Structure 1
Amino acid sequence: MSATNINRRRFLRAAGVTLGLPFFESFARASTPPSPQRFAFIYTPNGYFQKAIMPENPAPGLSPLTLTPTLQPLAPFKDDVTFITGLDRQFVPGTGVHAQAGSCWLTSSAPQETLDGGFPTNTTLDQMIARQTGSECALPSLELSTNDFADNKETRYFESISWYGPGYAANTEKNPRAVFQHLFGQARGGPGQSVLDTVLASAKDFEKRLGGEDRTKLGEYLESVRATEQRIQRAEAASRRLPRPPLPEPAGIPEQRGDYLRLMADLFVHAFQNDLTRVATLLIDPERWDSPRMYHGVFDKPQNHHVITHTKGDEAKEKLAKIDLFHVQFYAHVIDRLKTVNLLESTTLVMGSGISDGDQHNYGDLQVLVAGGGWKRGHLHYEGRRPLADLWLTMARQAGVKQERFADSSGVLKELA
């Protein structure tokens, strides 16, 4: 993404966003335009405990979903979920195995395209979709994280899954209160006031003294300014449609881990419901972060997820299975919330990790959960090499992104669409 686009995005964030009426699916069905598609990507670090999440001897292709021990919380939503397994990513030597797992999970660069030092980071799938749909919303996308660790011992490559372009990680918001104010706070400038009138007037006066090529450049700049102004005006109009937010303003980060995750998910669900944005990412925790994490209601003391993945013995395996189950329970909660507000069928809800087995650092045989979005249901399993990028290409096409390839894709997943 160009510096101009990045600055425009930062300007929008600084301007603030207001609240609109919920999007009513019944209205969408009664009208000619189809319901807008929404996409949410949830990232869990360090892979999954394979014996508890994978069924034994899965058949290639699409088959009924088997609820393994880890997937048991999805029982009420079995007809809403697709479990995709056997997808691969290629690790690029020269950088950390965990760093690439998260930062390149959604990347649009092929493994050999290392445009960010040794990293193949590039514009991620969520940002590509945001470029396609963001002009219709107050916020192009929403980047969230439930990493509340204060010890920033790792670089952005371990905790950034959304990227504007090579080397440009999207800043995530970790405090629910700040997210609330960002989504539902009063936009600056007041209803009907054009905050960019002065800029536009000065630019037009300056245009008279420019040559043809420079006028073209200035015209492109003014178009970007107008797009920003229109987005601010949409935010202001939204604030007039609904007098108060749909939930109380959070005091900050909840003490209980489960409450924290659910609150952040509820915030992006409300953003979808009010059509403030149609794209969201949520990082559950960074890769390889060795600070012990408390999983309330699961363990009586904090656990180091990364270290446990490299610990032998049955006790460590049981702990990994419990952590995975905790995250799938959260995923089931988000599915339930989207169903409750009648948004699940128009929302593609994804959860996955950039490695499969955390002990072996395996970039192959990845598991991805997909709910909603109108996709075919069941267990979709691939034998042999099928790039993860094929899934992202399939979703990009669904969102209207006109792109022949995505990273190292070989084609769309015809069994899914």
Structure 2
Amino acid sequence: MNRAKKALLSRRTMLKGAGALVALPYLEAMMPSSVYALPTPVATPRLGMFYFGMGMNMRQFTPTDFGPQFTLPRILQPLEEHRGQFTVLSGTYLQHGGGHQGTYPFATGVPMDKKQGVSVDQLAAEALGQDTRFPSLQMSVKNGTGFGSQVLATLAFNRQGAPLAAENDPSVLFDRLFRPPSKAEKAAEAGAFRHRQSILDLVQEDAARLQKRLGQADRRQMDQYFYSVRELEQQLERRIAWSDKEKARPELAELGDYSQPISPDQPEDFSYEAYSRLMYDLIALAFQTDSTRVATYVVRTELKGGSYPEWSLSRDYHSLTHHGNNPQNLEELARADTIYMRHWSRFLSRLRSIPEGDGTLLDHAALGFSSGMGIGHSRDQLPTMVSGGARLGLHHQGHVGLPPNTPLANLWRTMLDRTGVPVPETFHDSTGVVKELIDA
């Protein structure tokens, strides 16, 4: 059952007086009732989804005891300083996961061989991204979409089930988010805006004439086409509306160098340690400057990559997942996964260091990570964790053992609920929210 309730007032409510429109400040009546009962008002909610392809060594990820004071296993030990700000969820299940196709249903609930639906992050973007320059941010260790292959590079799919391309170069992402355009670039973009609008107008006119001559089935196809055209128009209108507004100028002290291209696709002189820091810091900067409130990050894809020369592993990550119970393979998997968790811990520390409202940026961000498989390429016992969101009403329990085969979608439903995003009554294979996370 969806616990999110409609706000008493829209956040875009305006007062009319003396011929002018005046925007209201952020009021408690504008908050969804699912968070209204919190003791103090919340700042703007953020939502992040993170994908670790190929699972993890669950033998050294899964805690053996439960509750807030659970014993951190080896892979999770880097998170000791964040105890009380995250919950490990055992027993999660991805209905169409397992193998190497789990990236597809991860955020949509739809298997690889079916037409995709709208992803969780895009539901959030529709609700949270209306007042930001970028409704959502798609990041990945692989550039593009990878659509059609098992090495899917993105988690994001629009209402028509089309994948949204991810970017893997932090310098490109930084420029997109923060670099102000030159006068020449602004002039060229303005011309491009007019050209694109003219093309869209012509396309709409031709399509409208054609639709009158089509049968019912073809009209449904044309309706989908019109939706895509309207979506392009909305994107164009958004870019025009933001084109004259200055981009945020973040404080870059103690952060890495975003001036030079860096991509895992060009492995020469590539340092994953530096790369990971740049990518996670970008999410923190984007959230901090309110450039976006929704982010997805494919930290590790299926099949390709996942390990780096600086880690001194004997084999690539995928080969290690076919461990055959070999102690060395399992040891190296755990070593790699611990490195990933060290990077995750630093990301949480970064968010926790940024004051916001009645807490920190971490307190106002619901962050979930998992995978499309568990150890042994299974679709159950996934490495699943939710972090942050204390001021959104997430009550962390350390380690929670959920009933076997609890849909991973229950976590996504919970995160949407806590960030005030309306959830369809039928949502993936979800059976409800994770009550342990929201019941005080």
What is the TM-score when the length of structure 1 is the normalising length? 0.75
* Alpha-carbon distance between aligned partners in 2 of 1:107 and 1:38, rounded to the nearest angstrom: 19
- 2:141 match: 146
SS in structure 1 of the partner of residue 435 of structure 2: coil
Q: Structure 1 stretch 403-412 or stretch 318-327: which is displaced more?
A: 403-412
SS in structure 1 of the partner of residue 413 of structure 2: helix
SS in structure 2 of the partner of residue 288 of structure 1: coil
The question of whether the paired residues in 2 share the 8 Å contact of 1:138 and 1:232 is answered with no
Matched, 1:252 2:267: no
- 1:12 match: none
- 1:284 match: 299
Residues 4-83 of structure 1: matches in 2 within 5 Å?
A: 34-56=42-64, 58=65, 63-83=68-88
- 1:132 match: 127
* Alpha-carbon distance between aligned partners in 2 of 1:307 and 1:121, rounded to the nearest angstrom: 29
Q: Which amino acid aligns with 1:346?
A: H
- 1:21 match: none
Q: Cα deviations across residues 202-238 of structure 1 (Å, max 9, x unaligned)?
A: 969x99xx99x99xx99x9789746743454335323
Q: Structure 1 stretch 332-341 or stretch 35-44: which is displaced more?
A: 35-44
Aligned residues: 363
Give the one of 313, 317, 321 matched to 2:334.
321
**Stretches of structure 2 lacking an aligned partner (at least 5 in a row):** 1-24, 32-41, 213-222, 263-268, 356-360
SS in structure 1 of the partner of residue 283 of structure 2: helix
Matched, 1:340 2:331: no
Shift in Å at residue 37 of structure 1?
0.9
C-alpha change, 1:235 and 1:98, in structure 2 (3 Å) is farther
Fraction of identical pairs, as percent: 25
Matched, 1:362 2:378: yes
Residues 169-188 of structure 1: matches in 2 within 5 Å?
A: 169-187=163-181, 188=185
- 2:265 match: none
Let me know the Cα RMSD of the aligned residues: 3.8
Shift in Å at residue 146 of structure 1?
1.9
SS in structure 2 of the partner of residue 332 of structure 1: helix
Shift in Å at residue 414 of structure 1?
1.5
Give the one of 289, 293, 301 matched to 2:307.
293
SS in structure 1 of the partner of residue 404 of structure 2: coil
SS in structure 2 of the partner of residue 121 of structure 1: coil
* Alpha-carbon distance between aligned partners in 1 of 2:400 and 2:430, rounded to the nearest angstrom: 17
Q: Which amino acid aligns with 1:407?
A: H
The question of whether the paired residues in 1 share the 8 Å contact of 2:373 and 2:380 is answered with yes
Residues 92-171 of structure 1: matches in 2 within 5 Å?
A: 97-109=98-110, 118-119=113-114, 121-147=116-142, 155=149, 158-165=152-159, 168-171=162-165
What is the TM-score when the length of structure 2 is the normalising length? 0.71
Q: Which amino acid aligns with 1:238?
A: E
* Alpha-carbon distance between aligned partners in 2 of 1:393 and 1:404, rounded to the nearest angstrom: 10
C-alpha change, 1:353 and 1:320, in structure 2 (3 Å) is same
C-alpha change, 1:197 and 1:404, in structure 2 (3 Å) is same
Shift in Å at residue 398 of structure 1?
2.3
**Stretches of structure 1 lacking an aligned partner (at least 5 in a row):** 1-26
Residues 375-390 of structure 1: matches in 2 within 5 Å?
A: 375-377=394-396, 378-390=398-410
SS in structure 1 of the partner of residue 50 of structure 2: strand
C-alpha change, 1:345 and 1:155, in structure 2 (3 Å) is same
* Alpha-carbon distance between aligned partners in 2 of 1:44 and 1:402, rounded to the nearest angstrom: 25
Give the one of 258, 264, 283 matched to 1:268.
283
* Alpha-carbon distance between aligned partners in 2 of 1:107 and 1:157, rounded to the nearest angstrom: 16
* Alpha-carbon distance between aligned partners in 1 of 2:115 and 2:96, rounded to the nearest angstrom: 10
